[in-house]
Amino acid sequence: MKKTPTPWKSSLRRLKREEVVPIRLRVGHTRISYSHLLVLLPQPPASCPYCLQQCFSVDHFFTCPLRLPLRSSLNVPSFLLQALKNNSDAISHTLECLRLTHFYSVI
């Protein structure tokens, strides 16, 4: 959480979707975490498609051991707060990682 209500310079992006995705990740309101609640018939929470851990979450996306090589190659930190900090390069790397793992569209 920021100490003062100032704009995130890293959130000024060319595309609106690139502004929305980091915000949703920061607050934890994503379809990754809540898609099982948005259906008519109750379903169990999603599991990680890579390591199959139950209760797939935003935090797990940044710590999944099977995605570590990709995150490392893109310089995406394994800590959510570092990956989503107010830094344009960090946000760009995080967005690229989300695109390559096909999670960008489900945030």
DSSP collapsed to 3 states, 12-75: CCCCHHHHHHHHHHHHCCCHHHHHHHCCCCCCCCCCCCCCCCCCCCHHHHHHCHHHHHHHHHCC
Coil, strand or helix at 11: helix
pLDDT average, residue stretch 10-28: 83
The candidate with the shortest Cα–Cα distance to 9, out of 104, 85, 95, 93, is: 85
C-alpha span between 41 and 71 (Å, rounded): 35
Tens of pLDDT, residue by residue over 65-105, are 998 999 999 999 888 888 888 888 999 999 999 999 888 88
pTM: 0.76
